[in-house]
Structure 1
Amino acid sequence: MSDTESQNEDTTTRGARVGDIATHICAGMLIMYALYFARSMAVPVVTSFVIYMVLRPIVRQGKRIGINPAIGSAGIIFGLLVALGLATYLVFEPAQQTIAEAPSHIAIVKEKLSFVTEKLQAVNQATEDLADTTSQTETSASATADDEPVPVEIKQPEWTSNVTYLSGTGNVVSFITICVALLYFLLATGDSLLRSIMHALPDFTARRRLVEVIANVQEGLGNYLAKISAINAGLGVSVALAMWLLGMPSPVLWGAMAFLFNFIPIVGAITGGAIIFVVALVNFDPTYYAFVVTALFLTLTSLEGQFITPAILGRSMSISPILVFLSIVLWGWMWGIMGVFLSVPILIAGRMACEGYDGLRPLAYVLGAEVPVKEAANSDEADQDRSVVDSDQHDTIPDSHINTVVKKETCPT
């Protein structure tokens, strides 16, 4: 084969790869738009599937000891509804009172933070004076023109509709109804549907791969949510006791808030700390005491996030904070507050699913999957790659690394 034919073949191959990448990007964008457009249906469906993956082993274990899946599923859902109702009963009244009194507390917060708000008001006043001067100059320059009044139309930004998702009573009722009904059918008849899907696959290899992927996703989600729920429960109890010792009103409410918000990495602790600070600022006379209460809350969440959670979950469930934050931003923008809570489970499920397919395994490595142990030569190459990344001169690649790559590419297979 001549050099010209080889170059043409390489160009054609690169063109085909670029086309495949572009096709995948377009398909991904279409899927994301469909999920955004159908969020009212997609959110409860995804929530049901996440809970199903966690509870499916319980139903299967009950089936092994002779409990009918329909009866076992009904019992599990009944227990979940009772637990949810009890938790709502315990925190509903103090939460409703806190929300109702929030407008009257704004003046107190402004007064106690006057040393900050006064400086901000001075900056705003200077900005308004500058804007007024500019406006007067433009008005005097166009005073001879007969300007007709321009109609002003105020539109609410589209993304704010996601922030208020599930805020209305009708949305909450429909969300719970769809979740409960779909979860029951998945738990009771999900295995039958899985067998039907397996029969539709072309060969035994594809069927076995599907079972392995589902088991991998189920194990990953189940381990993560079970362990993180236990950790969050311990954190909620610790926060409730700490708030009770510090004299905060409704300590059970703040423990429940810590438990719930801690399902959202990074953002949950910051949001909870801000709420605790405002409530402490309103209820305690010395302003510095609000900082003490908030510092204790953030200390507890930091100890949990930096030491307890990594020690329990281990390296196998570690995910880059950058990817976690981007996932929270993406799904929060698409699905609102429920998207924020589902962002990490979706990320974990996606990683576990990608590990089951060779073509998607590089994406699983990007999402935090453990890289298998390589031979000594490959380990040396990995160390060289790490040295390139960690080097301050990123544009300079060691000659040894280049030689290794060249030898690897020219070596006959």
Structure 2
Amino acid sequence: MIDTGSDHTLTFRGKAMVAAIPPTQRPSFPLDVDRPEPHAAATEAADEAEMPLPSDPQTFFLGGLFALGVLAALYVASSIILPVVVALLLNLLLQPAVRLLGRLHLPRAVGALFTVFLVIGALVGTVAALSVPATTWAERLPEGIPRLEAHLRVISAPIQALQKVIQQAEQAADAPPGRGSIVSVRRDLGITGVLFAGTRSALDGLFTTVLVLYFLLVAGNIFLRRTVEILPTFNNKRQAVDIAQQVQEDISGYLVTITAMNAAVGVTTAAAMYLCGLGDPLLWGTTAFLLNYIPILGPLVGVCIFVLVGMLSFESLWWALLPPVLYFGIHLVEGETVTPMLLARRFTLNPVLIILSLVFWFWMWGVLGAILAVPMLAILKIICDRLRPLKALGHFLEGE
């Protein structure tokens, strides 16, 4: 039984599908669809177990050209496509909340609007709460540079040698033509212009994400219903519903589980930083919460941040290394034991491909691309596992 979020309901009973939709839109099925022949069922099962590989080189060539074209479009139109992708994933995360409000007899449009306002309010409140401690630490940075230099005195000699090598290389290299004009243009632009341009781009992306997210929450599963209505055969309809249901269940489960675990990491990190005397636990807890959305690379950046903050805050070098050690221990417990135990049944992705996906999507879309890398890879595997021509690719993406 699949609830589509409206008055229309799709129900599977054995091999038959009954659609509670108007008779003029009701799909027609063969009369003998409920009683398949035994040898036909065995043949279908054998076909589903196979992972065929295309033997025609033209298929690989055209598929490669299509993939390159899609990636080029994603890169060029990232300002439009990235907010839409973020809205699609947030829709998977927030759709259960809208359905819950619908069961409380709240209209779907009102429930979607309430959910979106709740998310925006949480985001604005978090930014407002973190602005004061972030500004304080930014003001403390110039004062803490001498202390940082004292801690890094051990490696000052290699750094000075590296600086000499860089200076010699710059003196030996000739300046490229037209370099002065480029530098002058950038100086004329100034830091204020760069920050304003970045802020405007971020606000445009946020507005697009919120707008698309609201209409996705209001629409519900309308695209799935229309797809089921226009597909020609029963197997196609069943496959479309199966893929959509599996993507929604697995990705929603992944996002909810990861968000809960990241929240636990944030709370634990905030408590640990407070106990070791670092101060501003809300800032460091939120930092750990956000960085944990990026597998592997996020915690590494977090360790570097806490090393820098510890050196700026404490006189003793060993005491300064306590915050990164505590953060690394928390991440080790969460990343190596708790989260794999919760997600092992849903996701078995190749770790090497996860790293490559993180690097690639970070290059394509920046930090948001790194956050979206694992969910997009999981969606690709779910689709490939359920489409016979792509089963070989789905098996290649699978981990141990």
TM-score bracket for the superposition, by shorter chain length: 0.7 to 0.9
The corresponding residue for 1:404 is none
- In structure 1, the residue matched to 2:212 is 182
User: Hey, what's the Cα distance between the residues in 1 that align with 2:123 and 2:202?
Assistant: 14
Contact 2:147 2:315 in 1 (8 A): no
Residue 194 of structure 1 aligns to a residue in which SS?
helix
Does the 8 Å contact 1:109/1:282 carry over to 2? yes
Amino acid at match of 2:152: L
Relative to structure 1, the CA distance from residue 321 to residue 290 in structure 2 (aligned partners, 3 Å threshold; closer, same or farther) is: farther
- 2:228 aligns with 198
Letter of the structure 1 residue corresponding to residue 266 of structure 2 = G
Deviation at residue 127 of structure 1 after TM alignment: 6.3
Q: Which residue of 1 aligns with 2:257?
A: 227
Question: Which residue number corresponds to residue 121 of structure 2?
Answer: 82
Instruction: Specify whether residues 151 and 206 from structure 1 end up closer, same or farther in structure 2 by C-alpha distance, changes over 3 A only.
Output: same
Change (3 A) 1:190 1:239: same
Amino acid in structure 1 at the alignment position of 2:179 = V
Alignment partner, residue 94 of structure 1: 133
Q: Give the Cα–Cα distance (whole angstroms) in 1 for the partners of residues 150 and 243 of structure 2.
A: 57
Q: Tell me, in whole angstroms, the C-alpha distance in 2 between the residues paired with 1:176 and 1:130.
A: 43
Question: Residues 184-210 of structure 1: CA distance to partner in whole angstroms, max 9, x if unpaired?
Answer: 100101423332333333333322221
Deviation, structure 1 residue 227: 0.8
Q: 209-218 or 77-86: which moved more?
A: 77-86
Residues in 2 aligned to 1:150 and 1:365: alpha-carbon distance in whole angstroms = 51
Change in CA separation of 1:259 and 1:127 when aligned onto 2, cut-off 3 Å: closer
Q: What TM-score, normalized by structure 1, do the two folds share?
A: 0.75
Equivalent position of 2:24 in the other structure = none
In structure 2, the partner of 1:403 is none
State the match for 2:63 in structure 1. 24
- Supply the distance in 2 between the matched residues of 1:168 and 1:123 (Cα, whole angstroms): 33
Letter in 2 for 1:152: R
Amino acid at match of 1:43: L
| Deviation, structure 1 residue 103 | 4.8
- Counterparts of 2:177 and 2:78, CA distance in 1: 36
Kept in 1: contact 2:87–2:213 (CA 8 A): yes
Cα deviation for residue 108 of structure 1 reads 3.5
Match of 1:171 among 194, 201, 212: 201
CA contact (8 A) 2:82 2:365 kept: yes
CA distance in 2, matches of 1:328, 1:356: 24
Q: Secondary structure at the match of 2:253?
A: helix
What secondary structure, in the 3-state scheme, does the structure 1 residue paired with 2:278 have? coil
CA contact (8 A) 2:247 2:382 kept: yes
Partner SS state of residue 321, structure 2:
helix
Contact (CA 8 Å) 2:227, 2:240: kept in 1 or not?
no
Q: Of residues 247, 266, 279 in structure 2, which corresponds to 1:217?
A: 247
Partner of 1:49: 88
2:372 corresponds to which of 320, 331, 342: 342
Q: Please tell me whether residue 152 in structure 1 is matched to residue 179 in structure 2.
A: yes
In structure 2, give the amino acid aligned to 1:322: V
Q: Is the 8 A contact 1:240 1:255 kept in 2?
A: yes
Q: TM-score, normalised by structure 2?
A: 0.77
Residue 330 of structure 1 aligns to which amino acid in structure 2? F
How many percent of aligned residue pairs carry the same amino acid? 30
Quote the Cα distance in structure 2 between the aligned partners of 1:332 and 1:104: 33
Task: Give the letter aligned to residue 345 of structure 1.
Answer: P
- Measured after TM superposition, the shift of residue 112 of structure 1 is 2.1
Distance 1:149 1:58, change over 3 A: closer
Write the distance in 2 (CA, Å) between the matches of 1:35 and 1:15.
26
The structure that has the greater radius of gyration is: 1
Structure 1 range deviating more: 324-333 or 164-173: 164-173
Superposition map of 1:10-409 within 5 A: 17-64=56-103, 66-125=105-164, 128=167, 135=172, 151-152=178-179, 168-368=198-398
Specify every segment of 5 or more residues in structure 1 that has no aligned partner in the other structure, as ranges.
Answer: 1-13, 140-147, 157-163, 371-413
Instruction: State how many pairs are aligned.
Output: 338
CA distance in 2, matches of 1:249, 1:25: 52
Q: 1:355 to 1:59 in 2, by over 3 A?
A: farther
Conservation of the 8 A alpha-carbon contact between 1:165 and 1:171: no
In 1: Cα distance, 2:209 partner to 2:309 partner: 33
Contact residue 83 and residue 208 of structure 2 kept, 8 A: yes
Instruction: Tell me how far 1:167 sits from its aligned partner.
Output: 7.9
